[in-house]
Amino acid sequence: MTGSLKRGWCPGALRPMQSGDGLILRVRPRAGALSLDAMLDIAHGALQYGNGILDLTRRANLQVRGLCEKNLPGMHDILHAHDLLDETQAAEQVRNIMLSPLTSIDPAELLDIRPIAQALEARLTHDERLWRLPGKFGFILESGASPGLENERADIRLVAIQNEKGRIGFKVGLDRPETIKWVGETFENDREHLIDILANIALAVISQAPKDTKQVPRMRNLSFEKFSLVEKSARSEFNVIAQPDMRQAPPSSQESSRSEISSSCPLGLIEFENDHPILALALPFGSQTAQNWISLVEAAKSAGIVELRLSPWRTVYLPLPSKNCAPPLLEAATQASFVSDHNNPLLKIDACPGAPACTSAMSDTRKDARAIAAQMRFTETIKSIHVSGCEKGCARSKPAHMVLVAKSNGYALARNATVSQAPETLVPYDRVSRIIEEIEPLLGPSQNSSSTRKTIRA
Ligand code: SF4
């Protein structure tokens, strides 16, 4: 079952990826949620079969780290018991759907989008023609619940809309490098018809790849000519051409950063008018120990909570039966190192797993990131820091106020930069614990922006 383990592969449960700390197994929740029973068993499985570390990914999936091949069957049994194991590697690889995390909870949304997500999951896993889609090809389904998925990217986007008569419908957009190309609107209330539209657009992308190769491109990577054909095919699915949507800002050419979204979204107790409170908890660096998960989930289960929602911005949401259970649960969450204060400096830092988890890493990035966070009182105006174990920069692709890239003798530091931009200075490892305090004496004028000095201080 795991004969095709690869480095750099987009991992799944049936096809884990090799990393420095063992195999990474990715769990794709169904319709964006995990039951607390499942989460508890997965956390116990991570302790028994893995190294006890669980990640929340940028696509709102869960990863179990540090497994070995002989332990995979045990982990698979747990996933199978909770209906989280697909039948084939090909089916799990295409089940890439993100939906508004607070759908069915936020009363401001237009509709509960979970049934559409479930129908799309079923189509993706049963229609073998769709299994040629590349592993990173994904769908976003937006219900109008807040926080939304405007800053996330996927190849095909379905957004709930409302017309002037109050009727609920959907518009569909395609991901291009600098924008979302909206192709059509429909107000037909037929879920299968909607799924047909999404599947047909995906098939149109597949038709642009040579038949004798598995190399189907992402939507954003299609050449202008090929995308024009896909767009024409997509438009033919609709009677109404979609209008530009001012609410739906185009994504930037860079991927969003989980840290900035975490620190801008409300955390802690969130109350809605419909009396469906939730608890929003962030995971620093998108990572948490299985033991801490067990502590949180056991407290949540005894408070009568049954599920959690996952987001792509390293925050999980617990729908509460009443707000009375929030105080003890917040205390349990804090003791288990979940973050409920959006001012916590850890949320300003993106740090990849680093050493020893990744064999390419030149440093223990997260240990250094915690040391930096402990000094953040000196410079509270720094909005974002990226600590990277190597030049690949897995944790963040957009610029950060301060980026640190590990080298053999210290961190290469640049301001208002990405990992690929020229460093301004080298910070020896033994000075990381004073980096915020010492940043100005260390740095000359920035070469990446004429106003960066102002940006750091102002
Ligand atoms: S940035 Fe480099 S060190 Fe960090 S996880 Fe990616 S490959 Fe590994």
Pairing, β 385-388 against β 349-351 = parallel
Rounded to whole angstroms, the Cα distance separating 162 from 259 reads 32
The full DSSP string for 71-113 is GHHHHHHHHHHTT---SSHHHHHH--EEE-TTTTT-TTSSS--
In the chain, DSSP finds a helix count (H) and a strand count (E) of 12, 20
**Alpha carbon 44 to chain centroid, angstroms:** 23
Instruction: Among 7, 390, 407, say which to mutate for ligand 1: greatest number of ligand atoms within 8 Å of CB.
Output: 390
Q: How many angstroms is it from 7 CA to the middle of ligand 1?
A: 12
Q: Kindly report the pTM of this predicted structure.
A: 0.88
Phi/psi at 415 (5° precision): -110, 150
Let me know the angle formed at the C-alpha of 39 by 33 and 41, rounded to the nearest 5 degrees: 145
Fold of 110-143+153-235: Sulfite Reductase Hemoprotein; domain 1 (3.30.413)
Q: How many angstroms is it from 389 CA to the middle of ligand 1?
A: 5
Tell me: the pLDDT tens digits for 146-201? 999 998 999 999 999 999 999 999 999 999 988 899 999 999 889 999 999 999 99
In this predicted structure, the answer to whether residue 8 has a pLDDT above a threshold of 50 is no
Fold match, 1-84+257-342 / 346-457: no
Count other Cβ atoms within 10 Å, centred on residue 58.
21
60: left (phi over 0), alpha (psi -120 to 50) or beta: left
Q: Which of 353, 342, 434, 355 is nearest to 383 (CA)?
A: 342
The chain-wide mean pLDDT, for the chain, equals 88
Provide the residue count of the chain.
458
In this predicted structure, the answer to whether residue 444 has a pLDDT above a threshold of 60 is no
Fold of 1-84+257-342: Sulfite Reductase Hemoprotein; domain 2 (3.90.480)
Q: At 448, is the secondary structure helix, strand, or coil? A: coil
Tell me: the pLDDT tens digits for 233-252? 999 999 777 666 544 444 44
Confirm or reject: Cβ of 406 under 6 Å from ligand 1.
no
Tell me: the pLDDT tens digits for 104-127? 999 999 999 999 999 999 999 999
**Which whole number is the average pLDDT over 397-412?**
93
The predicted pLDDT at position 9 comes to 60
**Tokens in use for 67?**
């497994």
Instruction: For the chain, give every domain's residue range.
Output: 1-84+257-342, 110-143+153-235, 346-457
**Alpha carbon 25 to chain centroid, angstroms:** 16
The predicted pLDDT at position 275 comes to 80
**Least confident range of 83-87, 131-135, 226-230, 442-446:** 442-446
- Report which protein residue has its CA nearest ligand 1's atom 4: 389
Count other Cβ atoms within 10 Å, centred on residue 439.
20
Residue showing tokens 């909770």:
82
Q: Which CATH architecture has domain 346-457?
A: 2-Layer Sandwich (3.30)
Confirm or reject: Cβ of 392 under 6 Å from ligand 1.
yes
Which ligand 1 atom sits nearest the alpha carbon of residue 395? 1
Tell me: the pLDDT tens digits for 253-297? 344 555 565 556 889 999 988 788 999 999 999 999 999 999 999
Rounded to whole angstroms, the Cα distance separating 377 from 156 reads 42
